[in-house]
Amino acid sequence: MRISAIKYFSLSKLQDSPTHGKNGSSKVGVLRVVEGRADQEEYNLEAHTCVIGAGPASLVRLQGWFKPKAAMAITRKGDSYSATQLGGKALVNGQRLNGRHDLKDGDVLRVSGLTLEFRMKEIQ
């Protein structure tokens, strides 16, 4: 019984909802592909943690040989997002990512040959 309560708590924390703004609208972080190969042109960052990498659990899947399974994690807390390097080479606005970086609207991420732009987007 105790184990199931822990599982429920963990799942509910991961399925956090987007930030709600005025007039019932919500904001969510978005990664838009600027350069490189990806499965989609845009990725909504709705989960608590989204991974960029070649692994099967990655939201943004890196394509090609010798890509790290987990290169970067994007973590949401309330209405703010942060990027953390997990493996490989990662740049934010042309600067090497060491540790954690709080993302701002318009930041450019470069991860293993893929260039992404971070934006906050209103959703209804």
Q: What is the pLDDT confidence band of residue 25, given thresholds at 50, 70 and 90?
A: low
What pLDDT, on a 0 to 100 scale, did the predictor assign at position 123?
A: 78
**Amino acid of residue 6:** I
Q: Give the model's confidence band at 51: pLDDT under 50 very low, under 70 low, under 90 confident, else very high.
A: very high
**Model confidence at 32: pLDDT above 70:** yes
Question: Domain tally for the chain?
Answer: 1
pLDDT value of residue 14: 37
Residue-range definition of the domain harbouring residue 115: 2-123
pTM: 0.78
Mean of pLDDT values over 21-44: 86
Digit-coded pLDDT (tens) for 90-122: 999 999 998 899 999 999 999 999 999 999 998
Task: Report the pLDDT averaged over residues 52-69.
Answer: 93
Query: What does the DSSP assignment read for the chain?
Result: -HHHHHHHHHHHHHTPPPEE-GGG-EEEEEEEEEES--S-SEEEE-SSEEEEESSTT-SEE--STT--S--EEEEEETTEEEEEE-SS-EEETTEEP-SEEE--TT-EEEETTEEEEEEEEEE-
**Domain CATH number, residue 97:** 2.60.200.20
Q: State yes or no: pLDDT of 23 exceeds 80.
A: no
